[in-house]
Structure 1
Amino acid sequence: MIRNILLFITLALCFCSPKRLNFEPAIIPAAYEKLYLAPLISEAQMEQLDGWPYDAPTQQILMNYILGIQESLKEEFLRCEKFGYYEMVEDTQSCPTMRISVTLLKADLRNDTLKMPVNMRVERLPDGKEFIYSLTATSTSPKKSDPLNYLKSLLNSYKQRFPYKELVSFFYPHYTK
């Protein structure tokens, strides 16, 4: 009986011991750096999408969804700045040490899915070292009879599903199992 209890306790200790977490450094080392987020660049060629309007005011309404991504990305960087790992600066006059450029690549609309990959280029200004990473960003929306409302819905979904946290996570250390 005692032997069974000891065996049970030994097995419980073996299987219930906490796993050690491995520490991996940040993919882009940005400790104590001053980061400058450059304006969003769009190479998406939106005019090639089916249903893209020809008049400039309507195009601007749709492009405001894309421009909203810049503000949300900036908010995410500022939200994570409070952890004290890096400092965000507003302009190039504040002597940034890293410049972040985010580019939206070619837009591809198939069925109900909009694919617009994201390219992030980070340049460390003092030594000129560059880091370039690409992520896939997609959005979906059910087909609608009005092409303008359909594009609004797709771009709004894209803005909501944009990989903000994934882009910022390149600057932080990771803990893996």
Structure 2
Amino acid sequence: MYGSPIASAGIIYVDKIAETGNCYWVSPWHVNAWRYARDDCYLSFAELLIIDSENERRIVREVLVQNLDIYNRLTDVLWVGISRDYYSYVWSTVEDELLDEGFAPWAVGRPSGHQYRTCGSIRKYDVHYYDDFCFSDIYDTRYYSELHSTHFVCKKRVVSELLRYT
């Protein structure tokens, strides 16, 4: 088991500094656009989740399932910190790093190459990257019905912050 989640007001917060150098939290509220999730993390001095290794992917999965009461209330889709340039089809992180230059745990068959799927998500039961629409409530459900208003995962890189000031 990894750390003890703090589950106040429906938020999952886990200190994983020893294993990954990061802290994680899952939003207790839904947002209907990727940019609102990104901005919310930013206002908390964090970023939307970027999965840097297979070990971190496994830890995030365990964080999500540790508290089943909260897990069962989460949407299946969770926004994460990757997006694609609409014109060049190049995927990058919220830290402006190209996704193809590092670890990128895409789900099978993803990215799909769909013109309008330009924002990243994971599934709470899977924790692999998916390409999704950036606005979850404006597209015709004939084309995409599983994404409505969704939760999101923030990540704070604590170790890098500490090293900056030493």
TM-score in terms of structure 1 length: 0.24
Answer with 1 or 2: which has the greater Rg: 1
TM-score in terms of structure 2 length: 0.25
Structure with the higher helix share, 1 or 2 = 1
